[in-house]
Structure 1
């Protein structure tokens, strides 16, 4: 019995798929199957029933699963205790929203490289629901996305909260304009696609106001959405601190609505029961580095001093 065999069995059982487990461990499916077969030969027990279209864990496999989890956790703790600088190895595949990617994500990467130089980061930038599905399927170690998530398969911890404001180009609507149902019928509302956490929050807000949006446009990129609004195509909801440089530059105008849009909270989400050191460590680093008040380094207005806001980095 080896750690690699137990690791192959554990992830195949937890993820319910040999192919997904192999991808997570960066081995071929045949290599993963061989390790599990060798473990079954060593124990003299079948750990998976392979008679159907999908392999199903057996009673013996269920009994082994908890032991395997404990052994793998001990191995991770041993590495952490003996050598903090290189405790985490291998790869970490995780999901982030575009907003995270364009604000404080570089500082997270720098911190991880400092503390865990042997850990390879594999971020995936996508919309909220897409990342939640991948996380539930076990294709990701964790995700930093808007929430909260209602799935019992996922655990979460709040990272920060952002205030949102309606915005338009000044040539379309003047700053301070109080939006009415007439405005929403006369001006196209541009939103992210339905998989985005912001869109879900917007739809909830609109439903509470019994507001119909007859001229909605859909975009799957926050950067492209901002560019479209600045070009005068329509109005949209943006995180206030994130687009503040464009407001100061006169490229966007803040609008008012009653009631105000809902704030949007961001969460560090992981699979319930996943106690691996890589998840614990990256969660702790995330909570320390998260700072949504940072401007995108791609913007010419970026780099100016900004006041710390909700979710700012904690020293």
Structure 2
């Protein structure tokens, strides 16, 4: 009688929880044909069909749904054993990590280089996007972890506080008279901000409520670098991370703008799937806690 293996259990678990054979095969770094072979072998060992194979989606049968919590328990036990024996050696393979533009263009290279020294067999792949997209890809299994500013209460995700970013109002150096307030300037100039699904848009919403500023024209962009360029060109007033902007402030390409209502700080959190107990997640989380620095300057300036 054939016996189930760890590789078969992994194939079943990720196909079941990702809801996609394609995503599961990518996560395990194997071809879809290899994934399918492992699933068939597992079904033969259990003498039960685990998936309804009537399309590309990984839809569980009743037997598959019943087996899922048992498979999860077995895999968690294996991870605990591996971690207790030699966690460093277990951290290898490909890990897909999602971040926002600010982290990617400032302190993220330090995270990558630090992980490379500690875990040379780990291949970290970075994906830069807005928080809502990172969350979607994390839930689907396309990402293993992500740093997101926008809060999530999804029951499938776990998170811990990571760091804060201090935002300030800025404008082109010749746009406003010295001593001008943002509250007054927005009557004549638009505000440029990230798109609505970005975490930093909540800072503008909260500022408007607390300052009771009059409605104004808003220009949206999905790029912080573009926003900085528009501000420097005198197209609009903007708000950006103070540390990230340090080179532009030092060169006087843009200047701070006074306000009677300071912007809130933006809280960033490290997210991962609640059901993912692999040692690589712990290693990534611990390193992010050590090196995350949203006061770091934009590296390209």
The 2-side partners of 1:135 and 1:195 are apart by 16
1:217 to 179, 201, 219: 219
The 1-side partners of 2:186 and 2:290 are apart by 39
Single out whichever of 205-214 and 116-125 deviates more from structure 2. 205-214
Counterpart in the other structure of 1:171? 174
Secondary structure of the corresponding residue to residue 111 of structure 1: helix
The 1-side partners of 2:161 and 2:178 are apart by 32
The 1-side partners of 2:178 and 2:140 are apart by 45
Which aligned pairs between 1:1-315 and structure 2 lie closer than 5 A?
Answer: 1-50=4-53, 54-174=57-177, 176-180=179-183, 182-207=184-209, 209=211, 211=213, 213-299=215-301
Alpha-carbon shift at residue 255 of structure 1 (Å): 1.3
Question: Number of aligned pairs?
Answer: 298
Task: Spell out, residue by residue over 1:180-227, the C-alpha distance to the aligned partner (whole angstroms, 9 max, x if none).
Answer: 2x4213112111122211123323433555545442222221112112
Alpha-carbon shift at residue 57 of structure 1 (Å): 2.0
Alpha-carbon shift at residue 249 of structure 1 (Å): 2.4
8 Å CA contact retained: 1:88, 1:116: yes
8 Å CA contact retained: 2:21, 2:57: no
Gaps of 5+ in 2: none
The 1-side partners of 2:158 and 2:261 are apart by 31
The TM-score with structure 2 as length reference comes to 0.90
Gaps of 5+ in 1: 300-315
Alpha-carbon shift at residue 123 of structure 1 (Å): 0.8
Backbone CA RMSD of aligned residues: 2.2
Alpha-carbon shift at residue 74 of structure 1 (Å): 3.7
The 2-side partners of 1:265 and 1:193 are apart by 18
Secondary structure of the corresponding residue to residue 186 of structure 2: helix
Single out whichever of 171-180 and 184-193 deviates more from structure 2. 171-180
Secondary structure of the corresponding residue to residue 201 of structure 2: helix
Single out whichever of 230-239 and 59-68 deviates more from structure 2. 59-68
Secondary structure of the corresponding residue to residue 107 of structure 1: helix
The TM-score with structure 1 as length reference comes to 0.87
Alpha-carbon shift at residue 297 of structure 1 (Å): 2.5
Task: Spell out, residue by residue over 1:222-252, the C-alpha distance to the aligned partner (whole angstroms, 9 max, x if none).
Answer: 1121122112111101112221332232222
